[in-house]
Amino acid sequence: MRRKISILGFSGSLRKGSYNRSLLKAALELVPEDATLETFDLEGIPPFNQDFENRPPAKVKKFKRKIKAADAILIATAEYNFSIPGVLKNAIDWASRPHKDNSFEDKPVAIMSASGGMLGGARAQYHLRQTFVYLNMHPINRPEVIVTFADQKIDDKGRVVDEKTRKKIHELLVALVAWTRRLQEQHK
């Protein structure tokens, strides 16, 4: 049996009833057998201040450690004002610093997004992809998990009940694992 691929997932929305948190929760149930998924809560990460990038707060240290230990990253992002939430960008900024210690360097990554509207956070996904270029991450292109009208697909207990959405999340995880193995093979 091959070594399991370890994935670290986090959500760009902190709200309790967040649809994006629900996508991550569903991913925990749908992770393929040859992988593990651990989630990290961005709650409590203070605003980035470059004066402290060499001695970041404990929560950031832990976040960086978890990112570095993971084979791949899974981000569930909300869309705020046509972009990614400040909470997510702030956490990424911390973990990318100092310059020579970018925790995301060379990591494969997959994105999911959800919103109550008809575009499902798609615009935020493309902004996030732009950030991946600077971080030197390797995003997968397909499938796209863009959950529109999320209130119809996620119940009031935060469970993703729409079967098509669950299938897409599973497919995304399978694709992320395959992509990660392919990149790891190239590094041998």
Ligand X SMILES: Cc1cc2nc3c(=O)[nH]c(=O)nc-3n(C[C@H](O)[C@H](O)[C@H](O)COP(=O)(O)O)c2cc1C
**CB proximity list for 150: less than 8 A, separation 6 or greater:** 19, 22, 114, 115, 116, 120
CA–chain centroid gap for 173, Å, is: 11
Q: State both tokens at 110.
A: 């997959």
The residue (of 71 and 79) whose beta carbon lies closer to ligand X is 79
Q: Please, which residues bridge with residue 6 across strands?
A: 36
Nearer Cβ to ligand X (13/125): 13
Return the number of the residue (55 or 157) whose C-beta is nearest ligand X. Answer: 157
Q: How far is CA 62 from the centre of its chain?
A: 16
Q: Is the CB of 34 or the CB of 80 nearer to ligand X?
A: 80
Give least dist CB 71 to ligand X, A.
25
Element at 42 (helix H, strand E): none
Contacts of 155 (CB under 8 A, 6+ apart): 161
Record the tokens describing residue 132, joined without a space.
């991946």
User: Whats the size of the chain, residue-wise?
Assistant: 188
- Separation of alpha carbons 146 and 148, rounded Å: 6
As measured in angstroms, the least distance from the Cβ of 13 to ligand X is 3
The secondary element (H helix, E strand) that includes residue 151 is none
Q: C-beta of 146: minimal distance to ligand X in Å?
A: 11
Contacts with ligand X by CB under 6 A lie at: 13, 15, 18-20, 78-82, 114-117, 119
Residue 100: CB minimum distance to ligand X, A: 33
Shortest approach of ligand X to residue 10 CB, angstroms? Answer: 12
Rounded to a whole number of angstroms, the minimum distance from the CB of residue 22 to ligand X is 8
Residue 73: partners with Cβ closer than 8 Å, 6 or more residues away:
7, 8, 9, 67, 104, 107, 108, 109, 110, 137
For ligand X, give the closer residue by CB, 35 or 145. Answer: 145
Nearer to ligand X, 35 or 74 (CB): 74
